[in-house]
Amino acid sequence: MSTREPIERLWGGRFKSGPSESLKALSRSDPSFFKLAPYDLAGSRAHARELLRAGILDDEELRQLLDAMAQIEADFLAGAIQPSLADEDVHTFLERVLTLRTPAVGGKLRAGRSRNDQAANDLRLYLRDKVRKLVQAVDELQRALIDQARQHVHSVTAGFTHLQPAQPIAFAHQLLAHAQSIQRDVDRFMDWDRRAARSPLGAAALAGSAICTNPELSAQELGYDAPCENSIDAVAARDHVAEFVFVASMLAVNLSRLSEEVILWTSRQFGWVELDDGYATGSSIMPQKKNSDIAELTRGKAGRLIGDLGGLLATLKSLPLAYNRDLAEDKIAAFDCVDTLELVLPAMSGMVRTMRVDVDEMRRQAPLGFTLATEVADWLALRGVPFSEAHEITGALVRMCESKGVELGALTPAMLHEVDARLEPAVLDHLTLDAALEARSGFGGTAPARVEEQIARLATAIDRQAEWAANYGGPSC
């Protein structure tokens, strides 16, 4: 049995002296990187089985290593062991502890692999695990939006363009517009996972391993679809990280847009929505204030995630193949995205689920600003008036209403005839909020029947996504 002390570094044999203190300080991993320990151990277990197939380990040595790694993982998660200042990274930390606990065989585990493929594998496993947890958290927000939408299929409000009242819509339709954009973000995460499901293990430093020659078996054990096609690309590529960060930042942008609308809806000027006390804050000086801080914080953090994406792309843009230490920056961006979304999503879900909508106030405001004007133009067009003329006639009608200080709903047959003889009294039947909604009955429109169909389809899609997230074959920590 070897009695040598575990080494402090995974390199150094060709050096006459150790690294300087400044080099060690710069080279040591950010403390957050050690959260990858469970994923590194998962990769090490798969690698140990590959060493058994290669004849480096026998059955008893494999058992010792697997038992030791299981206990190390339990101890790490319980906080019983922590990396020391001498541990350069998670790989050094775990090999040190493993060698202390299994001195006869711990050093064998390094055969046939490199920190290059280990580091690439750890982050892939982490992101593939976390993406499913994020999808589950997004699903909760989606279900909150759907629950609110079900209550407001017939609640009329004003839809806006250029932040100006435009046309009447169902409030459910507005909520579902946000749900649809967020739905595409989930689709992007699922599509990202299809490309990320390739194992870098077996690539070693860059050329592949002369010892671990069955990477497809390790890939299968870790829940991947297959090994990476090219060993250089396996350790050098970080486009999957950049793509993950892009989808995360796109989700954050869509959450920010929802947040901005909640901020508007809860303002005194709109008065459409009141937040539950548990999801709002007050002012330290103004006792009357009720602030939508969740929405504001979410809106602010979107900029942070956009910065993560820009920083990562700048890091990657000029790197030669294969591995470079610059790539350690990938984890900073990825961890920040995950940590931020894990904070934001539950808070947004609770805020949306518990908000109270003032249906009467929305309906009162819905026709203001002549939002029913398009109904007049459409009515004329359907009766053979060229739309360019219908547009001009309707504009003249709006000008007359403005001069008289009335909305379109207050028009009389005499007022209509004053503007144009083709404006028959029958048009007045179409100048109601409910008629305007019912008229938009095409697929994707705001008619209540179409909105109910949209809710049903979206609920089915969310169930499918939840099933995908739950059925993961890789390590989950």
Candidates 162, 284, 318, 403; catalytic one: 162
| Domain end point (choices 80, 111, 142) | 111
Residues 342, 398, single domain; the answer is no
Residues 358, 398, single domain; the answer is no
Residues 342, 198, single domain; the answer is yes
Mean residue pLDDT across the chain: 95
Candidates 2, 20, 32, 283; catalytic one: 283
- Give domain status of residue 441, yes or no: no
**Mean pLDDT value of segment 326-346:** 97
- Give domain status of residue 466, yes or no: no
User: pLDDT at residue 4 above 50?
Assistant: no
Cα angle for residues 352, 357, 361 (degrees, 5° grid)? 150
- Give domain status of residue 218, yes or no: no
Residues 282, 321, single domain; the answer is yes
- The reply to whether 155 belongs to the active site is no
Q: What percent of the chain has pLDDT over 70?
A: 97
Residues 238, 386, single domain; the answer is no
User: pLDDT at residue 7 above 60?
Assistant: no
Residues 322, 341, single domain; the answer is yes
| Domain end point (choices 340, 365, 390) | 365
Tokens representing 309? Answer: 């994406």
Residues 65, 94, single domain; the answer is yes
Q: What percent of the chain has pLDDT over 90?
A: 91
CA distance 48 to 170: 59
Residue 289 confidence class, pLDDT cut points 50, 70, 90: confident
Phi, psi of 463 (to 5 degrees): -60, -40
Task: State residue 1's pLDDT score.
Answer: 39
- Give domain status of residue 222, yes or no: no
Residue 477 confidence class, pLDDT cut points 50, 70, 90: confident
Residue range 359-395, pLDDT digits in tens: 999 999 999 999 999 999 999 999 999 999 999 999 9
- Give domain status of residue 474, yes or no: no
Residue 2 confidence class, pLDDT cut points 50, 70, 90: very low
Task: State residue 22's pLDDT score.
Answer: 87
User: pLDDT at residue 430 above 80?
Assistant: yes
Residues 292, 328, single domain; the answer is yes
Residue range 161-212, pLDDT digits in tens: 999 999 999 999 999 999 999 999 999 999 999 999 999 999 999 999 999 9
User: Which CATH number covers residue 235?
Assistant: 1.20.200.10
CA distance 363 to 168: 9
Domain count, the chain: 3
Residues 309, 268, single domain; the answer is yes
Tokens representing 90? Answer: 């998670």
User: pLDDT at residue 246 above 60?
Assistant: yes
- Give domain status of residue 477, yes or no: no
Residues 257, 400, single domain; the answer is no
Residue range 51-106, pLDDT digits in tens: 999 999 999 999 999 999 999 999 999 999 999 999 999 999 999 999 999 999 99
Contacts of 170 by beta carbon, 8 Å cutoff, 6+ apart:
152, 153, 154, 155, 156, 157, 437, 446, 448, 451
- Give domain status of residue 141, yes or no: yes
| Domain end point (choices 111, 139, 156) | 111
**Mean pLDDT value of segment 44-56:** 98
Residues 151, 186, single domain; the answer is yes
Residues 356, 379, single domain; the answer is no
Domain of residue 102, residue span: 21-111
- The reply to whether 283 belongs to the active site is yes
